[in-house]
Amino acid sequence: MTARSTGTAYDYDTVVAGAGPAGVMAAIEASSRGSVLLVDASALPRNKSCGGMLNEYAQSFLAAHGDMPDRIVLDPSHIHFRYVDWDRSIKKPTELRFLNVDRALFDDWLVSLLPDNVEISGSTAVKGLQQDADGVTVDLKNGGKPYQVTCRNLIGADGARSGVRRALGVENVSTYVTLQDFCTLKDEIEPYFDCIYMRGIGDSYAYSYVMPKGETAIVGSVYYPHTKRPADKQNHTLNILRKEMPALGDSVRREASVALYVRATADVVPGVGRVLLAGEAGGFMSPTSGEGISYAMNTGVLAGKAVAENDPADAVAAYRRATAHVGSNISRKLRWLPFMESRVGKYFAGFVPTPIVSKVTKGL
């Protein structure tokens, strides 16, 4: 692949790294200014390890793009969040409701929404960048071949291990280790997105989750940074769950991934110079629930609009103002986090009336 000329000093008006929800939304909005190159380090269609649950905020960002194809939505189509204290057999269902989607098909559908002036390149990674007062030169690598493109603005939406963030010289945020198994279902399980707390797995263990996905169920676990032998811990967790949930059959696939371990407001970085950071690349996700898709869509839209509606040199400042409320939201949740993660906090949650748990959960 070679850089192309648009008849200006730049190959593209905007380059976006990352073809997930943040990147696609950013590319859609930025395309109103001019040409966009959207790259992703993975082959497309991409397959990100994720539970595939869209909360009401994520769904609202999609409303302008029409109805989602039926093939993307799994059975059951909607699932409520439920807090589970496994050791004390406490279950607290909430009013928080998710649309249950196949994440790979969802991401592929998002890409189909891109306008014609967005060029897409899979298996293309950002390896570096140089920027000055006039624009950004992006070092890319596709199929083992390095090349460069120039643009007015670069939007990094390339996830928790963002190459764009690293190229800016901004320290990446630490990450949780996540493992999830796709287990066959011998019988139906309750239609909940169960968030499960156990006390016998060890201090490196954060929580597990179980959700039905058509003929399978996702059983995932989240571990704190630097966890040793997470696969052994996941196997142990699966054995515990299967004893009480006999409908869970064999695992047909296991996925490993990472999620942001946001612990300070300094972890949130909207951008530097002419480079904007959206979604997990910018540190935008809920530190209390781990939910990231709605944050990705929100900041992706805001990043694309900042590029489209402002002078290229002013885009980061405009984006910083536009995302101030998102940063405040994350800061508020960070104040709750130490208590929520403590043994005392998890124990206390079992005594809180279910309606209050439901109300608090919607804010997480």
Sequence spans of domains, the chain:
12-49+106-173+263-336
Buried b (16+ CB within 10 A) or exposed e, 261-279: bbeeeebbbbbebbbbbbb
SS (H, E, C) 43-56: CCCCCCCCCCEECH
Q: How far is Cα 190 from Cα 352, in angstroms, rounded to an integer?
A: 23
Mean pLDDT for the stretch of residues 43-63: 88
Mean pLDDT for the stretch of residues 162-178: 94
Residue 143 has pLDDT above 90, yes or no: no
The least confident of 5-9, 216-220, 336-340 is 5-9
**Those residues with Cβ within 8 angstroms of residue 359's Cβ, 6 or more apart along the chain or in another chain:** none
Give the confidence band of 364 by pLDDT, cuts at 50, 70, 90.
low
Give the confidence band of 358 by pLDDT, cuts at 50, 70, 90.
confident
Beta strands per DSSP E along the chain: 12-17, 36-39, 53-54, 73-85, 90-101, 118-121, 124-132, 135-142, 145-156, 175-185, 192-197, 205-213, 216-223, 248-260, 271-272, 275-277
Q: Which residue has the higher pLDDT, 191 or 4?
A: 191
How big is the chain, counted in residues? 364
Tell me if residue 235 falls in helix, strand or coil: helix
Q: Do residues 162 and 156 touch, judged by C-beta distance below 8 A? A: yes
In the chain, the percentage of residues whose pLDDT exceeds 90 is 80
Give the confidence band of 239 by pLDDT, cuts at 50, 70, 90.
very high
Q: Does domain 12-49+106-173+263-336 have CATH number 3.60.20.10?
A: no
Mean pLDDT for the stretch of residues 13-21: 97
Q: Do residues 100 and 51 touch, judged by C-beta distance below 8 A? A: no
Name residue 259's beta-bridge partners. 176
Q: Which residue has the higher pLDDT, 339 or 311?
A: 311
Residue carrying structure tokens 């082959």: 43
Residue 123 has pLDDT above 50, yes or no: yes
Quickly count: other Cβ atoms within 10 Å of residue 9's Cβ.
10
- pLDDT at position 53, please? 93
Residue 1 has pLDDT above 50, yes or no: no
State the chain's mean pLDDT as an integer: 92
- pLDDT at position 2, please? 38
Residue 11 has pLDDT above 60, yes or no: yes
CA distances from 331 to 41, 232, 296 (A): 31, 34, 17
Mean pLDDT for the stretch of residues 37-49: 89
Residue 290 per-residue DSSP state: -
- pLDDT at position 347, please? 81
Residue carrying structure tokens 């949130």: 268
Residue 136 per-residue DSSP state: E
According to DSSP, the β-strands at 53-54 and 90-101 are: antiparallel
Name residue 217's beta-bridge partners. 183, 212
- pLDDT at position 41, please? 94
Mean pLDDT for the stretch of residues 126-141: 96
Give the confidence band of 5 by pLDDT, cuts at 50, 70, 90.
very low
The least confident of 4-13, 133-142, 181-190, 288-297 is 4-13
